[in-house]
Amino acid sequence: MKLNSKTVVVTGGAKGIGRELTLQLLDKGARVAVVDMDEKALEETRELSGKQKDRLSLHNVNISDREAVEQLPDAVIAAHGAVDAIINNAGIIQPFVKINALDYTAIEKVMKVNFYGSLYMIKAFLPHLLKRPTAHIANISSMGGFLPVPGQSIYGASKAAVKLMTEALYSELKNTNVKVSIVFPGGVGTNIAANSGIEVPAMNSNGKKYKMLEPAKAAEIIVKGIENDKFRILVGSDSRFMDFIYRLSPKFATNLISRQMKNLLKE
């Protein structure tokens, strides 16, 4: 779907990959409805949009609140006249602990934001998307959605749920005007840990930090994938590599990640 003159809703659109998606979509000539809980970040994104801010609307909404999400389509259509695509980008991670040490409050929060938030958005916007000549749904899963990461078991489960839901949605909408993409970012240099209230130590045994993809590059790959109606969008060399390895040998890939994450995982 060519994005020029289209209206796109981006959740988590005021920070990280979401902000870069917002700015790049504006550069493509799209109208963008940014959904985020952080009012300050929303205003910062408006300022960064510069002369293109007239094609931007800001929506301070918690996507885990179903009633609030159900009101979003009317607000977006009031601001832009229509809605052509949604990008379910908002997400949080869990504390780096094993399931046995993870409390139910953290478990439920991760599932509500990552899975239910995406589901609420789809349910709210799909009736409107089906009325458009062409439309698109892009759901951001994670490399952790197809590859088990110790210490991020519930985060991975939430993203695996997004993955399978999206793949089924693709099948259900195959003969409609709505295209569907599932996105698998690897390591991207965002503040997702801080935004999730999580502290993350060095990513490997020698204390060096894992090299992350720039958010702008991640957004560029996602936008290009949407414009080309790609079913699967792998973001980053690590995501592409681990996707290949996991398909080849799930056990080998699982053990490889387990070794790399060993010093990061708290008891």
Active site residues: 155
| Tally of CB atoms within 10 A around 207 | 9
> What does the buried/exposed string (b/e) look like for 105-137 if buried means 16 or more CB atoms within 10 Å of the residue's CB?
ebbebbbbbbbbbbbbbbebbbebbeebeebbb
d(CA 146, CA 152): 12
Residues 6 or more apart whose CB falls under 8 angstroms from that of 234 comprise: 184, 186, 240, 243
- The DSSP-derived string for 27-41 is HTT-EEEEEES-HHH
DSSP 8-state class, residue 58: E
Greatest C-alpha distance within the chain: 54
Whether the CB-CB separation of 119 and 139 falls below 8 Å is answered with: no
DSSP 8-state class, residue 12: T
d(CA 254, CA 175): 36
